[in-house]
Structure 1
Amino acid sequence: MTSKYWSPVVSRLSPYTPGEQPKQKVIKLNTNESPYGPSPKALQAMRDACGDALRLYPSFTADRVRRVVSVNLGVAMDQVFVGNGSDEVLAHAFNAFFQQSRPLLFPDISYSFYPTYCGLYGIAFQSVPVTEDFRIEPDDYLPGGPHGPAGGIILPTPNAPTGRALSLAEIERIVAGNPQCAVVIDEAYVDFGAESAVPLTSKYDNLLVVQTLSKSRALAGLRVGFAVGSPELIEGLNRVKDSFNSYPVDSLAEIGAAAAIEDVEHFEKTRLAVMKTRDELDASLRKLGFEAPRSLTNFIFARHPGHDAVKLAAGLRERGILVRHFRLPRIDQYLRISIGTDDECALLVDALSELIA
């Protein structure tokens, strides 16, 4: 569909396609949501906040969340930016830092919102191929590498949909090697076993680390994300935010997010449970002949050399189980399987056993 009323850029956009949100009851292993509920303390804090105060605008700086993030991660408050989900934080980062004369670099197999943002903001980019085993090669992102000096770099680690992560030493090598541009590390899945780059933000002015409460804190429906970086990068984000929407985080979301971050016990219990189930599911899939990179996320990216991924996904769907399939080069034979409860994963393994028998 096109319209004469659209701005020219709208016709050229290729919007991001999110995972299916079905209305019927199914086993939903396609959108990397937590199988466990949010912090009970966060839920109670939001219930208690449902009152007359909602007639007032929320804090335009989300200080309550910034304060608990700064304490939790050991950074200064002026190093923290909070937005309406990490996707909004990323969108502001693209707008604030990547509209440069040199292209933005990111992996060719990665979060598919990145090229969408580039299309929206008119950002030139180059997708950098990951290795055959889906590793991000740090040398490819250095100024002396095949793509020359970058105008910006964004790397998801752990990467989606592959599940592979860079080490902290590899991240530092990329950040230190590119003082001419901003480097954004997208850590949506970092709490499931990877190393966070947050400690490096006090050492490098060009590093921004973005995290979300959607995955490890089970608040995908709340829409809160944050970034940690040097004060000058945070100021850049604030300038973009305040030119777009000064009140992106609503009052209930701010209260719930802060309480969830403070509830360390619930966070640790649920993320460790997800990691345990992930490793058990990984072992079960390998027994069935599946191949997968070792995941440090809340999903597994797997293929079966003897069975077509499209047919496997369709067969699972017929059995009431949704997984994610990407019709993209190099990964069209892989399924991204979110980690559910132990019971849901057991049903998944049973269904796959039937399909490949």
Structure 2
Amino acid sequence: MNYTTWEQRVRKVEPYTPGEQPKTDKVIKLNTNENPFSPSPMVEKVIKEYNEDALRLYPDTRAGLLVDALAKRYGVDSDQVFVGVGSDDVISQTFLTFFNSDKEILFPDITYSFYDVWAELYRIPYRTVPLKDDFTINPDDYKCDNGGIIIPNPNAPTGVLESLDTIEEILKANPTSVVVIDEAYIDFGGTSCLPLIDKYENLLVVQTFSKSRSMAGMRIGFAIGSKKLIKYLSDVKFSVNSYTMNPLSIIGGAAAVEDEEYFQKTTQEIINTREYSKKRLTELGFTFPDSMSNFIFASHKKVPAKEIFTKLKEQGIYVRYWDKPRINNHLRITIGTKENMDKVFEKLAEIVG
């Protein structure tokens, strides 16, 4: 190929579009699934006690304090744990490591919209698999030749949780593919498929501190799997950047993991508010798949989602809306504090009449 300009050599991709970040805190922000509670008080304590002079040194490449805390919490060996700068970093490295063939990787058509971005970025062939009308997965759709599978559970943006039986059915049918289960929202009432990692060497489970541990700003994600999977993943990571985890994230993350009481208390409060919110939304005429996450994917019977989205924003309430096929009449509403949710329901009542 003859190049006539430098731009023809550029790797061009359509980037992921995150939820809008308002330039003021005088809003009710329910558009990016952030936790409404502060991180564990133990996080604040260890950061305040940290010797800032140590910031002149490179961090522990292994992030051993955090890795060991996660291994203890989840009952696995330390060499079964991989950490990264948010689960986005972890999954990006996963795409780069394991999805390395000319066969299409598979993921749902309605799902986390970063997956196709990574596939395009790394030139990985992919095919989106349509969810059923109720937004659930048909496991038979994944019983085919493929180059890998990634499925969020619970799914985003629908909030639908698949059973362990469904996940295992997919695993059984794909012994030659790496199957990644993205469990960013699993702590809000779901059952993790982590117990399956001892049975399936090709299963990688990814989680994050951004949602249930209130640490989106510190960027901590992790994966747990067989020692062989983690070794391959680590080899790729250290070929890109050895020092990805900063020391404050390492010590703060470890402290958050150790404060199990606070973790259980705040996640349960979000679950309780979510169930309350389901009742209130139903009373206002909304329908939605049963959510097991920290958000609800709602559609109104009479008023279009885009109209509701615009009117809420005018009132300083931010929720998420996608103008995409199949989901362009839905809003993803993050679960905030009960006080904030009541303000949302008050405005929704005015909008939908």
Q: TM-score, normalised by structure 1?
A: 0.96
Return the letter of the residue paired with 1:206.
N
3-state DSSP of counterpart to 1:82? strand
- Post-superposition shift, 1:165? 1.1
Aligned counterpart, 1:278 = 274
Aligned counterpart, 2:19 = 19
Cα distance in 1, alignment partners of residues 150 and 70 from structure 2: 22
Cα contact 1:69–1:80 (8 A) shared by 2: yes
3-state DSSP of counterpart to 1:336? strand
* Structure 2 unaligned residues grouped into runs of 5+: none
Check 1:7–1:239 CA distance in 2 against 1; reply closer, same or farther (3 A cut). farther
Cα distance in 2, alignment partners of residues 294 and 168 from structure 1: 17
* Structure 1 unaligned residues grouped into runs of 5+: 143-147
Check 1:228–1:6 CA distance in 2 against 1; reply closer, same or farther (3 A cut). farther
Cα distance in 1, alignment partners of residues 10 and 151 from structure 2: 26
Cα distance in 2, alignment partners of residues 4 and 282 from structure 1: 55
Q: Deviations over 1:294-335 (max 9, x none)?
A: 100000000002011111001101111000001110000000
- 1:215 equivalent among 179, 204, 211: 211
- Post-superposition shift, 1:159? 0.2
3-state DSSP of counterpart to 1:37? coil
Cα distance in 1, alignment partners of residues 44 and 136 from structure 2: 38
Cα contact 1:9–1:120 (8 A) shared by 2: no
The answer to whether structure 1 residue 166 and structure 2 residue 170 are counterparts is no
- Post-superposition shift, 1:101? 2.0
- 1:251 equivalent among 247, 268, 272: 247
Cα contact 2:207–2:222 (8 A) shared by 1: yes
Cα distance in 2, alignment partners of residues 5 and 85 from structure 1: 33
Aligned counterpart, 2:35 = 34
Return the letter of the residue paired with 1:296.
M
3-state DSSP of counterpart to 2:217? coil
**Overall identity of the aligned pairs, in %:** 49
Q: TM-score, normalised by structure 2?
A: 0.97
Map 1:94-113 → 2, pairs under 5 A? 94-113=95-114
Return the letter of the residue paired with 1:292.
F
Map 1:79-118 → 2, pairs under 5 A? 79-118=80-119
Cα contact 1:289–1:304 (8 A) shared by 2: yes
Q: Deviations over 1:169-214 (max 9, x none)?
A: 2111111220011000000000001110111111111000000000
Cα contact 2:80–2:230 (8 A) shared by 1: yes
Cα distance in 2, alignment partners of residues 174 and 166 from structure 1: 11
- Post-superposition shift, 1:6? 4.4
Cα distance in 2, alignment partners of residues 4 and 63 from structure 1: 46
Aligned counterpart, 2:53 = 52
Cα contact 1:99–1:122 (8 A) shared by 2: no
Cα distance in 1, alignment partners of residues 154 and 175 from structure 2: 23
- 2:151 equivalent among 145, 151, 155: 155
Cα distance in 2, alignment partners of residues 244 and 328 from structure 1: 34
Aligned counterpart, 1:121 = 122
Cα distance in 2, alignment partners of residues 9 and 164 from structure 1: 38
Cα distance in 1, alignment partners of residues 278 and 117 from structure 2: 31
Cα contact 1:163–1:296 (8 A) shared by 2: yes
- 2:299 equivalent among 288, 303, 315: 303
Aligned counterpart, 1:145 = none
Cα contact 1:29–1:339 (8 A) shared by 2: yes
The answer to whether structure 1 residue 69 and structure 2 residue 65 are counterparts is no
Cα contact 2:102–2:124 (8 A) shared by 1: no
The answer to whether structure 1 residue 335 and structure 2 residue 331 are counterparts is yes
Cα contact 1:108–1:127 (8 A) shared by 2: yes
Return the letter of the residue paired with 2:164.
L
- Post-superposition shift, 1:224? 0.5
3-state DSSP of counterpart to 2:216? coil
Q: Deviations over 1:270-296 (max 9, x none)?
A: 000000000101110000110000100
Check 1:7–1:47 CA distance in 2 against 1; reply closer, same or farther (3 A cut). farther
Cα distance in 2, alignment partners of residues 335 and 170 from structure 1: 27
Aligned counterpart, 1:291 = 287
Return the letter of the residue paired with 1:270.
T
Q: Deviations over 1:240-262 (max 9, x none)?
A: 11111101100010000000011
Cα contact 1:181–1:206 (8 A) shared by 2: yes
Aligned counterpart, 2:261 = 265
Q: Deviations over 1:79-132 (max 9, x none)?
A: 000101100000000000012121100000000000000010000000000000
Return the letter of the residue paired with 1:331.
I
3-state DSSP of counterpart to 1:178? coil
- Post-superposition shift, 1:51? 2.3
Cα distance in 2, alignment partners of residues 6 and 78 from structure 1: 42
- Post-superposition shift, 1:5? 4.1
Return the letter of the residue paired with 2:28.
I
How many residues align? The count is 349
Q: Which moved more, 1:282-291 or 1:231-240?
A: 231-240
3-state DSSP of counterpart to 1:232? helix
